[in-house]
Structure 1
């Protein structure tokens, strides 16, 4: 059978992916204490590269105050470049393109992770989820400028390390999203206010990253942006807000838009009368201005085709790429019968899944990893938020 997702895709900058399958950012929690790359991470991505069109590497913090969890990658120092270069090389095997996601966690951190420092955010507003969130300190204007500069410096380091692009992580309730959210951003200076004003931080970060690309890139280099379409807090981001944000991205310099959702077919969490898939609404808002990456509970080849049918240009898989590193190769070889849709705990070492990640999969993601030992495995997230989207319970 001939699949649309196996066709090549070329970005306007001239970077061509050999197919439309993307490995979504997949948190391994396996970096050293200081954010340096480990062999576990190199082996994990090396086992999954070579067949995919694109790998989007897990998130790296751009500044020390931006660390969100233990075992997180750092791109905050030039000392990080050699390790990141080895990681990029592992991802780029046999022509797979490699993009690195970069971010600041903002209030989605704590003083233990930050070695005694209080988390920071747009405003001093504690997150509703998780329940043990700490109240952050509101960033000063100078600190905001420093973070914007840090995103540009991180982009320069990603260029030097050999990646094909960076993705700004504006999803999953991290700092870029916190500045856009009326829940976490209650500032009265130029960084806060109405919907358009709350886009200012994201616009400044995009400009900083693009300036680094313009100055340092000696080859075509992608700049992507990831969003979460809704928050459930009141006040919070609603789908109409995100569509306005997407409209801004459509007119910006970014090269693609990536949506973070547990299910690609999800409709609005807040407006149950809205039956149009969110991805379709975002596609309509972009109106062809930017490529769109869809993600969420994609497992089978038909799942991937169905996501493209929603109007996306590329399809990302996260959990399925953990279970089946050779998914694309098996489709190409007409060997779909051997694709692994379940995960045996005894196979995780063989699949190069780092031990820290194994613990994570056995925890927050246990019910949706399709473990062979789980008699109650869920089919997917259906019309609910996933843990990585910033919620501690199912909706």
Structure 2
């Protein structure tokens, strides 16, 4: 089943293996993707779907240094040869729109980050000079909330203009959309805070607005129900995401993408609720375990339609072939995940009898 084709919205995928979005910290200081990015993604175009690394929708929404952007003409032009390279290699690629919200820092982009509430995340953020304590974000006004919804829409339009097949809205891992969903980061008393229905409002409005702008069949959404990464705390993920999914179901989105952050019971409930295609990423952020074929089989049996693989795609550009033919997987070099440059980026070979030691 993992190697069967499937339709997502209006596009046909050659298999159900998804390359998960993975930050690689190789863009320029002005948010331009590396010149090697086209080759990096084209090497991995045998995936049924590639979801790009997180792309900043605005300078203020940039979460870390050297994250690519898609909010000006130069950045849009820089993505066109990348999407063309993937298409020429027979692949499909969605742009992940990642608004950092409070996961940002003035020393990274010169701007105070925005948040659902004026509550700093616990922990530190990576910067080229070391790690910095998170700062207190600006609590967004109603007007700023509407402005940020437009930011998502504008970036989605640019993504389509740049040749992406669609967009994935990053609502997981403690970034802006989840900051509205989570109890501890959202202490608002207006219509965007308080009850689960109110905390779900921003996510639903972003997805709806982007769907209206580029077509729902080109829009996916990623969630990490109950996930704790970046200081999140959702006290009732089953109830919260029931509200979210019931609101999103009628839109006819391309897919829902979830990380395995909730219990089996909650995930089974969400699978039962969701009426569209489901992508599951069985690995957790910063865990030592990588998603593998056994995880894929387990989730396909539980009702997932596609499986997202992350770190093994870094070191195995031909991961689909290796999974299909039960070939040995190369282990990635963790030291080069975020090191910049081409080492550990485009120099992993395809499988051969001597390539894996």
TM-score (norm 2): 0.84
Which residue pairs with 1:81 in the alignment? 76
| Distance in 1 separating the partners of 2:251 and 2:179 | 20
Which residue pairs with 1:285 in the alignment? 273
Aligned residues: 331
Query: In the alignment, which of 328, 332, 355 is matched to residue 343 of structure 1?
Result: 332
1:9 aligns with 2:6: yes
| Distance in 2 separating the partners of 1:246 and 1:321 | 29
| Distance in 2 separating the partners of 1:237 and 1:92 | 42
Which residue pairs with 1:244 in the alignment? 243
| Distance in 2 separating the partners of 1:267 and 1:198 | 19
Determine if contact 2:20/2:281 at 8 Å carries over to the other structure: yes
Which residue pairs with 1:295 in the alignment? 281
Determine if contact 1:229/1:238 at 8 Å carries over to the other structure: no
Which residue pairs with 1:55 in the alignment? 50
Give the stretch that moved more between structures: 177-186 or 65-74.
177-186
Query: In the alignment, which of 295, 300, 305 is matched to residue 313 of structure 1?
Result: 305
| Distance in 2 separating the partners of 1:291 and 1:157 | 25
Q: Deviation per CA, 1:221-268, whole angstroms, max 9, x where unpaired?
A: 51000001114568634322233323333233422100134xxxx653
Query: In the alignment, which of 96, 101, 111 is matched to residue 101 of structure 1?
Result: 96
| Distance in 2 separating the partners of 1:234 and 1:161 | 33
Aligned counterparts, 1:65-76, within 5 A: 65-76=60-71
Q: 1:281 to 1:360 in 2, by over 3 A?
A: farther
Q: 1:300 to 1:168 in 2, by over 3 A?
A: closer
Which residue pairs with 1:391 in the alignment? none
1:40 aligns with 2:26: no
1:229 aligns with 2:210: no
In structure 2, runs of 5+ residues without a counterpart are 126-132, 284-289, 346-355
Q: Deviation per CA, 1:55-91, whole angstroms, max 9, x where unpaired?
A: 0001111122101001111111132111111221233
| Distance in 2 separating the partners of 1:147 and 1:354 | 28
Determine if contact 1:108/1:174 at 8 Å carries over to the other structure: yes
TM-score (norm 1): 0.77
Which residue pairs with 1:121 in the alignment? 115
Give the stretch that moved more between structures: 125-134 or 228-237.
228-237
Q: Deviation per CA, 1:40-61, whole angstroms, max 9, x where unpaired?
A: 3222212211x11100001111
Q: 1:248 to 1:342 in 2, by over 3 A?
A: same
Moved over 4 A (4+): 231-235, 357-361
Q: Deviation per CA, 1:8-50, whole angstroms, max 9, x where unpaired?
A: 0013x3311010000000111111111112113222212211x
| Distance in 2 separating the partners of 1:221 and 1:79 | 27
Q: 1:234 to 1:155 in 2, by over 3 A?
A: closer
| Distance in 1 separating the partners of 2:147 and 2:292 | 44
